[in-house]
Structure 1
Amino acid sequence: MRQAESFLPPAGVLAGDKRPWETFDWPAERRRGIYRSWGQYFRNARMNTAAQKYFDKCIDEDGNGGLSKGDDYLALYLRSKFNRSVARTQEAYEDSQHAARVAGPNDAGINTELADTVYDLNRFEDNKRMLHDFVRKYVGTSVKPLEHRLRIVNENFDDCMGDDSLGTFLMENSAQLGGCFEQISREKSPPDLRPRWKILKELNECDVQSVCDKEEKLLSPLEMARRKRKTKIFYQNYLNRAWTDIFFLKTLRQNPNLLLDRYFGSPTKRGEYLNRSFERVKKFTKMLHSRSPMYNELHQRRGNPRMKSQLHESRRSINHLERRLVFATLPIERTYLLHELADRHVQQNHFVQCLSYAQKAIEEAEHCNSKIWQFLSTMQMAKSHAILHKYERQTEVLDAAYDLAKELKSPKLCTFIELCRMLNKDYITLRKMSQLVASKRLRYKMSNRSSGLSSSQHSSPSNASIVVQNIMA
């Protein structure tokens, strides 16, 4: 095939970075098909930047062969699916809407993609309306996926506005709804476009103030801890065990060891990439929350007979042990009951209560001179300290457990406790090393700052002495 003269660079000009097949004078329809195939290939290979590039080239190709520029509905359909896969819901909706407008009302696949993009935007009412229209319009096998999507959106409506979950939530939180509605209405109210002095004059405030005062909302430490805990519960509910990775990603955004502000000249790109990744996860969790809100998740857990029986059984066992503890008089019996209470609290992740009951069990075991119960209660304390990351206190507890294991004359227990002590020492060493690195970095910054100030202070007298000498001369 011949090469077109229009594709050849002029004399004395370097050719651009092009593929070998891009230098041929392909027809517009053939080039569009090549770009579309490359876009699909890179999308399947998760090379998102290259896939976006070739989908854009396919859509922006000059119109020949019956299609005008930007009207390749198949490429728009594929780019919409690609944008949905990388959480660009608004761009996917625009592409699918354009593709549906070009292809016409008879293409079931493109209209189904349009309904999916509306669903991803959490516009459930519009999605339900569109699906009902499409179900009445099409026949045959194309109706089955639409009916499946319709069942899903109906379940979402039941989860969001069901009488059992929503009614219970509104009754439990009726005292806080007034402030929430006021805040939502304030955010949705249209902005006041009048001059600032006129607005302040109506409010009987100073109308000549040139600098706008920003209202800073001061939060108490308790409120800050409560919000942090709510955020943690939110991610735990929707991401399961992946919530630790999300919190790690959140802290990485301000981590100087990763951003490296003074090196390589690309900290802004890394920061933008981390922020974009975190915003993508936030958008994903908000989508999950819109489809099945937290109050519905809590209602389903409360209504789960298996979970309800487990909660009642644990509470019943703790109450039973506490009632027995009131009437127990023998130290060995009280030791057993206190140890069982500590074990029940560990199973429910109540580690502070476990430490309290385990310490009482050790004291009762000393009264009855029972080494085995002292060892078992000490191991309960070691388990709680390990989960709470209290390594310094863990050292004392493990030393006491090692002494008890030697008194029990058990080599296996001594070996196990010695291994636990070695691991605990490693954790303490790692923590000290991380603190040392952080303190060194802080001292390095302070020394750089102080050296800069001292150099400026030393340079100013020398400059002044030179000026004085010139004047005297």
Structure 2
Amino acid sequence: MSLSTDTMKPLAGLRPKLEPWEVIKWTDSQLSSMYKDWGIYFDRTQNLAASMQYFTKSLDIYQYDTETLRRRGCIKRKEARAPDALLDSKKAKEILRQYNPKLFDPNVNLEVCDSLYESNRLEDSMRSLHQNLKVFSHSQAQKVLDRLNVITENFHDSLSDATAPAVHRLIDKMTLDKANQPKYEKPECDVLSILENEPELLSPLEKRRRKREFKIYNQNYLHKCWTDASFLKSIRENPNLLIDQFTESSTHLKSLTEERYKVVRTFTKMLHTRCPKYCRQIHKYPNEELHQKYQQENLFRIQYQTRRNMFKILRNIRSLIRAGKLHKLTTFVEEVMGDYVTIKTNRIMPWKFEFINEVYNYLGLARINEYKIPSDMKVLTGRQRLLTLFRLPTDLGISQTKARDSILRELVRRTNETDLKAERFKFLTTRYEYRMRFAKYPIERSYLLHELAQAHLDNNSFDTCCLLARQSIDEALKGRHYIWAVLSALVACKAHAILGKVEKQKEMLTEAFKMAKKLKNIDLCLFIDICLKVNTEEIELKRQLITPEGSLRRRQRRSGSSFENSPSETSVHASNSP
């Protein structure tokens, strides 16, 4: 008994993994029908992804099945993919027309109309419905008439006489925005390059306005589900969900959230096309006088609440000043002025300018009161006395030596840990520079420049600190805000004291003394006057060291110190002497 060579050959590799029902050799028509039935089943159970998968498998086997194309188009419409659904339904209609012109399927034609409608092409959908109305029978025409009534109502909501004023206002606003847009100019560049797309820089007020509009938009069309849409928008870039260490899951979750949010936005745009927001406003308030009365009452309520909040803020500032909590006061003022006052318009806060001046003056006076002569001040040399007056560390040389000795340990530590001081400096500078772009008043710009100078001083960027302090003084003098001019001058004096620039220190202290006289603050004038005298002593000491007598005295001092630092030699000479 002889066996064929095919049966004697061993199987190479592993057998393919097959489901139990895949072992049987089904025909293509049977497989296509099975996939189609499974797609219909999963469509009933709202498992759209599985339904789409099986309909696609069925069409891969037999691509001319019009019923499967129509059902897959329905699934795509449920997934907010109306343009793709329109392609499937048009393809099914073309197949019917090409292979059997006498055969007419009303479901396919209605699917084309529905896809056009959900693609926000209302005019094309109405035109297609009128064409189908000619070929549909009396029993089939009712579905077409229902759809025509819906589209007619959509046009009435958008372009009726009641909505004409709102439409004209919208058209005027769009025309004005288009006219204000800068014209595109082709850059003169000989090299083929990719132009950098600058990100749109929005003011805090504009950001708040867009956030409010987004909330109202979702509330109009999603009702109580608007919170879900807002949550879905916020988690798209949330680091708690998209963890960098989990590369595979983070990629999948990012694509999933982006896809789901895109579906929500597509459905809301479809609802907005059928009934614009101005029309919903008219339906909600049919009586115009009642609507204006409601808006006026709401405006008065917000104005009154804002006024109460302003008085509460001022009371908190006064209590913090009385308690002497300067650091907490600075943090509170920055939060209030950066996060609350910047998003209020002059209509809501008519006393905005007065309130800004009041808050910044309170903060400036509290900081000026910190510049006092310490009662326990010991007799020190000129520079150390100046550093003590400015409440700066006097052991700068020792600290620098220690920093140089521990630089290797610091580098190792920073490779494993985040430098919190550098992160804080980066955060503060970014925040202040962003606020500087939209600051209107000189006192606000002077405050922001002063804070930037203080941040650079804390970060040991002394030259930048002096430059920003000078800019802050110029801004303060524009509005005659001498408090912040003096404070900025004293910040520059701190930088000069650390660097040991006594001549520039003298100029800045003299300028600060002139501005302090205008404030009529005796304690401040006395403090600056003592700083001037200490700085003058330092200048005289340096001049004496530069003269020949001073250089001789310095050499004698050095030789004396070297003699005192060598006790072993003196003991040897003493032992050898008789």
Q: How far 1:214 sits from its partner (Å)?
A: 2.8
Structure-2 change in CA distance of 1:130 and 1:211 (3 Å)? closer
Q: Structure 1 residue 25 and structure 2 residue 37: aligned? A: no
2:211 to 220, 225, 228: 228
Structure 1 segments (4+ residues) deviating >6 Å: 355-360
Q: How far 1:302 sits from its partner (Å)?
A: 3.1
Structure-2 change in CA distance of 1:16 and 1:157 (3 Å)? farther
Tell me which amino acid in the other structure corresponds to 1:118. L
Q: More displaced, 257-266 or 79-88? A: 257-266
Partner of 2:468: none
Q: Structure 1 residue 118 and structure 2 residue 116: aligned? A: yes
**Post-superposition CA distance 1:193-240 (Å, at most 9, x none):** xxxxxx84xx7x344474524344332222222122111111111111
Tell me which amino acid in the other structure corresponds to 1:450. R
Q: Structure 1 residue 291 and structure 2 residue 242: aligned? A: no
Q: Structure 1 residue 263 and structure 2 residue 260: aligned? A: no
Paired residues for 1:145-224 under 5 Å: 145-165=143-163, 167-173=164-170, 175-180=172-177, 200=186, 205-208=188-191, 210-224=193-207
* Structure 1: runs of 5+ lacking an equivalent: 1-9, 62-68, 188-198, 319-344, 361-446, 455-473
Structure-2 change in CA distance of 1:171 and 1:96 (3 Å)? closer
Q: Secondary structure at the match of 2:197?
A: coil
Structure-2 change in CA distance of 1:210 and 1:256 (3 Å)? closer
Paired residues for 1:304-453 under 5 Å: 305=287, 312=293, 350=301, 353=304, 450-452=414-416
Tell me which amino acid in the other structure corresponds to 2:175. G
Structure 2 distance, partners of 1:88, 1:211, is 32
Aligned residues: 306
Tell me which amino acid in the other structure corresponds to 1:115. C
Structure 2 distance, partners of 1:295, 1:277, is 27
1:79 to 36, 48, 72: 72
1:70 to 63, 67, 73: 63
Q: How far 1:160 sits from its partner (Å)?
A: 1.6
Partner of 2:87: 94
1:247 to 208, 230, 236: 230
Structure-2 change in CA distance of 1:19 and 1:143 (3 Å)? farther
**Post-superposition CA distance 1:306-337 (Å, at most 9, x none):** x965875897xx7xxxxxxxxxxxxxxxxxxx
Q: Could you tell me whether the CA contact under 8 Å between 1:302 and 1:308 is conserved in 2?
A: no
Q: Could you tell me whether the CA contact under 8 Å between 1:259 and 1:270 is conserved in 2?
A: yes
Structure 2 distance, partners of 1:206, 1:359, is 53
Q: How far 1:161 sits from its partner (Å)?
A: 1.7
Using CA pairs below 8 Å that are at least 6 residues apart, which structure has the higher relative contact order? 2
Structure-2 change in CA distance of 1:223 and 1:297 (3 Å)? same
Q: Secondary structure at the match of 2:63?
A: coil
Tell me which amino acid in the other structure corresponds to 1:283. T
**Post-superposition CA distance 1:238-273 (Å, at most 9, x none):** 111211111111111112222222136320110000
Structure 2 distance, partners of 1:100, 1:85, is 20
Tell me which amino acid in the other structure corresponds to 1:242. C
What is the TM-score normalised by the length of structure 1?
A: 0.57
Q: How far 1:134 sits from its partner (Å)?
A: 0.5
What is the TM-score normalised by the length of structure 2?
A: 0.48
Structure 1 distance, partners of 2:412, 2:169, is 57
Partner of 1:11: 11
**Post-superposition CA distance 1:379-412 (Å, at most 9, x none):** xxxxxxxxxxxxxxxxxxxxxxxxxxxxxxxxxx
Structure 2 distance, partners of 1:23, 1:95, is 32
Give identity over the alignment, percent. 31
Tell me which amino acid in the other structure corresponds to 2:79. V
Q: Secondary structure at the match of 1:259?
A: coil
Partner of 1:3: none
Q: Could you tell me whether the CA contact under 8 Å between 1:259 and 1:267 is conserved in 2?
A: yes
Structure 2 distance, partners of 1:127, 1:182, is 33
Tell me which amino acid in the other structure corresponds to 1:353. Y
1:109 to 83, 107, 110: 107
Structure 1 distance, partners of 2:75, 2:199, is 41
Tell me which amino acid in the other structure corresponds to 1:168. P
Partner of 1:34: 34
**Post-superposition CA distance 1:80-133 (Å, at most 9, x none):** 111111212122111111111122361101110111011110111110000001
Q: How far 1:76 sits from its partner (Å)?
A: 0.6
Structure 2 distance, partners of 1:448, 1:127, is 68
1:128 to 120, 126, 129: 126
Structure 1 distance, partners of 2:170, 2:27, is 65
Structure-2 change in CA distance of 1:285 and 1:273 (3 Å)? same
**Post-superposition CA distance 1:273-296 (Å, at most 9, x none):** 001111110111100111111111
Partner of 2:560: none
Structure 2 distance, partners of 1:224, 1:151, is 40
Partner of 1:46: 46
Q: Could you tell me whether the CA contact under 8 Å between 2:285 and 2:291 is conserved in 1?
A: no
Structure 2 distance, partners of 1:355, 1:210, is 51
* Structure 2: runs of 5+ lacking an equivalent: 1-9, 98-102, 312-410, 419-578
Which is higher, the Rg of structure 1 or of structure 2? 2
